C-alpha cells in the first residue's frame, strides 16, 4: 500500500498493521533500534538535495539556512540517540519496600507501540523527524503526518521514508484535517503534535475521546527582556537574527521585546543597523530572507501591520508583496500592553518593542500572561537573570541569545500550560515515547503469615505496635 492520502479504512489498516508488527517484537532490542536510526540518517543523506529543494519551494528557505535549521540538527540527534539508546533502554533497579521482603524491584522503559507524529509547516522536516528519532530510539513503530501546508516537503519526506522503511515500521500518511482526524480515531498508542494552540486543543480533545496520551509542542508569546545592564549591539544582533529567521515563523523566537527604558533607544538603533547588515537595503532581494507560508497567513500579518500603524510607530519594514508571499521584517515602537499585537502569538516578521522601568512591575505583568514556550533574557546581571527565571514561568529559558536552546540535545525542550506539555529531544524524547513499567519480583520461600486471614487480634498495646511497624514500612 503506497504512503499517500488514504480513506479512514486504509488509515485504520495502516495503524493495525504497525500494531501487529510491534507485537511481533521485531523492533524491541537496542540493536534493532540503532539500525533503524542509522537507516534514517542514510535516507536523510540520500534525499538531502530533494528536501532542500522542497523547503525552498514551500518557504523560500535558502540552501545553507535550510540545511542549518532543518537537516543538520537531525544528524546530531540521530548520532546522540544511537550512541546512548542502549543505556537509556536498560532496566534499572530501584529499592524495594520492607513490606514485601524478600523482593527485588526494577523499572523497564517500555515503548508505547504505534506513535502518531503530526508535524508543522514552519520547520516541516526537522520538527517532523526529530520526534521520530525519539520514537525509534524508544522502540516504537511510527506513522508520520506531515503538514499539508508544506506540500513539496510533505511529498519529499514521504518518498524518503517509503524508499527506506517497511511501512509496518515507519509510514507516512499525507493529507489534511480529515486524514489527521482519522489517524487519531484509529487509536495509536501515543500522539506527538507540533503546531498552534488552537489545533493543539482539538488534537487533545480528540485524543481524550480515544484515551490516547498526547505530547503537545505548541507556541506562545515569548517575551524577550533586555535589561539595562546589557550590550545593546550584541543583543540587537541576536534578537534580529532570532526573530526574523524563517520570516518570524519560529515557535521559540522572541514574540515581543521589553527593553529597559535606559537601553531601549540604543537597542532600537542597533536593531535597525543589524537589519541592514543581514538583509541589505531591500530584504525582498535577499536570498537569506524567507517567505510566509501562504496567503491566509500573510493576510493575517498584514492586518497586524495595519493595527501597528494605527496604534504605534513602524520603525522598519511594513511593506508586503502578496504575489511573492513577502512581508518585510518589521519593528514596531510605541505600543502598550493592551495593543492588538500583544493579544496572540504573532508568528511572523513583526516585532513589537515595549519598555519597562521597574523589574518587579515587569515580572507582575509577565506572570499574569499565559505561560510561554520560551523566556528570553538579555542581561549581564546574574541577580536579574535569576529573579526572572525564578518568577516568570515558561517552558524553557534562553539567556543572552535566541533559538540556540533547541540545539542542545541534553536540554529537555517543551512548553508548559498553553505552550504545551511533554519534552524532547535526546533522552527526554526517548522518555516521551516510553512509559516506565514497574516490575516486582518476590521469593517463593518466605511469607509473613500476618498478611493472610484469619487476622490476629491484638490488645491495645499490640495495636499500637502494629501501627508503628506499618508506618516504618511506608
Q: How far apart are CA 371 and CA 219, in angstroms?
A: 10
- pLDDT value at position 2? 45
- pLDDT value at position 63? 78
Is the pLDDT score of 450 beyond 80?
Answer: no
Location of each CATH 3.40.309.10 domain in the chain: 223-414
- pLDDT value at position 64? 83
Secondary structure (DSSP) of 156-178: HHHHHHHHHS-TTTEEE---SHH
- pLDDT value at position 465? 67
Give the mean pLDDT of the chain.
92
Q: Quick one: cell of 140? A: 516504537
Tell me whether residue 217 is one of the annotated catalytic residues.
yes
Residues 277-322 pLDDT 10s:
999 999 999 999 999 999 999 999 999 999 999 989 999 999 999 9
Tell me whether residue 302 is one of the annotated catalytic residues.
no
Q: Quick one: cell of 328? A: 518585510
- Is residue 153 within 8 Å of residue 71, measured between CB atoms? no
The CATH fold assigned to 223-414 is Aldehyde Dehydrogenase; Chain A, domain 2 (3.40.309)
Identify the CA nearest to 131 among candidates 346, 333, 426: 426
- State in words which class domain 8-218+423-435 has: alpha beta
Is the pLDDT score of 1 beyond 60?
Answer: no
Is the pLDDT score of 183 beyond 60?
Answer: yes
- pLDDT value at position 311? 83
In degrees, rounded to 5, the angle at the alpha carbon of residue 79 between the alpha carbons of residues 73 and 81 is 100
- Count other Cβ atoms within 10 Å, centred on residue 76: 14
Share of the chain above pLDDT 90, in %: 83
- pLDDT value at position 463? 63
- pLDDT value at position 350? 98
Q: Is the dihedral of CA 53, 145, 434, 24 positive or negative?
A: negative
Distances, alpha carbon 409 to alpha carbons 217, 242, 467, in Å = 16, 19, 48
Rounded mean pLDDT of 263-269?
Answer: 97
Rounded mean pLDDT of 426-448?
Answer: 90
Active-site option among 141, 224, 251, 402: 251
Location of each CATH 3.40.605.10 domain in the chain: 8-218+423-435
Rounded mean pLDDT of 440-466?
Answer: 73
Q: Which residues contact 439 (CB under 8 A, 6 or more apart)?
A: 91, 105, 106, 107, 108
The least confident of 90-104, 213-227, 388-402, 442-456 is 442-456
- pLDDT value at position 452? 76
- pLDDT value at position 208? 95
Omega within 30 of 0 (cis) for the link into 454: yes
Active-site option among 217, 345, 385, 418: 217
Q: How far apart are CA 109 and CA 33, in angstroms?
A: 14
Model confidence band, residue 458 (pLDDT cutoffs 50, 70, 90): low
* Most confidently modeled range among 381-385, 410-414, 452-456: 381-385
Model confidence band, residue 460 (pLDDT cutoffs 50, 70, 90): low
Residues 34-75 pLDDT 10s:
999 999 999 999 999 999 999 999 999 877 888 989 999 999
- pLDDT value at position 462? 62
Q: What is the dihedral of CA 325, 326, 329, 334, to 10 degrees?
A: -70
Is the pLDDT score of 338 beyond 60?
Answer: yes
Is the pLDDT score of 471 beyond 80?
Answer: no
- Is residue 458 within 8 Å of residue 140, measured between CB atoms? no
Q: How far apart are CA 313 and CA 302, in angstroms?
A: 15
Amino acid at each position: 500500500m503506497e504512503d499517500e492520502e488514504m480513506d479512514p479504512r486504509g488509515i485504520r489498516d495502516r495503524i493495525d498493521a504497525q500494531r501487529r508488527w510491534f507485537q511481533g517484537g521485531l523492533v524491541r532490542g537496542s540493536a534493532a533500534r540503532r539500525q533503524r536510526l542509522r537507516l534514517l540518517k542514510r535516507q536523510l543523506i540520500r534525499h538531502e538535495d530533494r528536501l532542500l529543494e522542497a523547503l525552498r519551494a514551500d518557504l523560500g528557505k535558502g540552501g545553507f539556512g535550510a540545511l542549518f535549521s532543518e537537516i543538520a540538527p537531525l544528524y546530531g540527534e540521530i548520532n546522540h540517540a544511537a550512541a546512548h539508546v542502549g543505556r537509556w533502554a536498560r532496566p534499572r533497579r530501584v529499592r524495594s519496600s520492607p513490606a514485601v521482603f524478600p523482593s527485588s524491584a526494577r523499572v523497564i522503559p517500555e515503548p508505547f507501540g504505534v506513535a502518531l507524529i503530526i508535524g508543522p509547516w514552519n520547520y516541516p522536516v526537522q520538527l517532523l523527524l526529530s520526534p521520530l528519532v525519539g520514537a525509534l530510539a524508544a522502540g516504537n513503530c511510527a506513522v508520520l503526518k506531515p503538514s499539508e501546508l508544506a506540500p513539496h516537503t510533505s511529498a519529499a519526506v514521504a518518498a524518503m521514508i517509503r524508499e527506506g522503511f517497511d511501512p509496518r515500521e515507519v509510514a507516512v500518511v499525507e493529507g489534511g484535517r480529515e486524514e489527521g482526524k482519522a489517524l487519531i480515531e484509529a487509536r495509536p498508542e501515543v500522539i506527538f503534535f507540533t503546531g498552534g494552540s488552537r489545533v493543539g486543543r482539538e488534537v487533545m480533545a480528540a485524543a481524550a475521546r480515544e484515551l490516547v496520551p498526547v505530547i503537545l509542542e505548541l507556541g506562545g508569546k515569548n517575551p524577550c527582556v533586555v535589561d539595562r545592564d546589557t550590550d545593546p549591539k550584541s543583543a540587537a544582533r541576536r534578537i534580529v537574527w532570532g526573530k526574523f529567521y524563517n520570516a518570524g515563523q519560529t515557535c521559540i523566537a522572541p514574540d515581543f521585546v521589553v527593553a529597559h527604558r535606559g537601553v531601549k533607544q540604543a537597542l532600537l538603533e542597533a536593531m535597525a543597523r543589524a537589519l541592514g547588515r543581514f538583509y541589505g537595503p531591500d530584504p525582498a532581494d535577499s536570498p537569506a530572507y524567507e517567505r510566509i507560508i501562504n496567503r491566509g497567513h500573510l493576510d493575517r500579518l498584514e492586518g497586524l501591520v495595519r493595527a501597528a500603524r494605527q496604534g504605534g510607530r513602524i520603525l522598519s519594514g511594513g511593506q508586503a508583496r502578496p504575489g511573492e508571499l513577502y512581508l518585510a521584517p518589521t519593528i514596531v515602537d510605541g505600543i502598550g500592553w493592551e495593543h492588538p499585537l500583544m493579544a496572540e502569538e504573532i508568528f511572523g516578521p513583526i516585532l513589537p518593542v515595549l519598555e519597562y522601568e521597574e523589574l518587579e512591575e515587569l515580572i507582575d505583568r509577565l506572570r499574569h500572561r499565559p505561560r510561554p514556550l520560551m523566556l528570553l533574557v538579555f542581561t549581564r546581571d546574574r541577580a536579574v537573570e535569576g529573579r526572572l527565571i525564578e518568577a516568570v514561568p515558561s517552558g524553557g529559558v534562553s539567556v543572552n541569545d535566541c533559538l540556540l536552546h533547541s540545539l542542545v540535545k541534553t536540554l529537555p525542550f517543551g512548553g508548559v500550560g498553553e505552550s504545551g506539555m511533554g519534552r524532547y529531544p535526546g533522552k527526554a524524547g526517548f522518555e516521551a515515547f516510553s512509559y516506565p513499567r514497574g516490575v516486582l519480583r518476590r521469593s517463593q520461600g518466605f511469607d509473613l503469615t500476618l498478611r493472610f486471614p484469619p487476622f490476629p487480634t491484638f490488645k491495645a498495646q499490640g495495636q499500637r505496635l502494629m501501627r508503628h511497624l506499618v508506618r516504618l514500612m511506608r
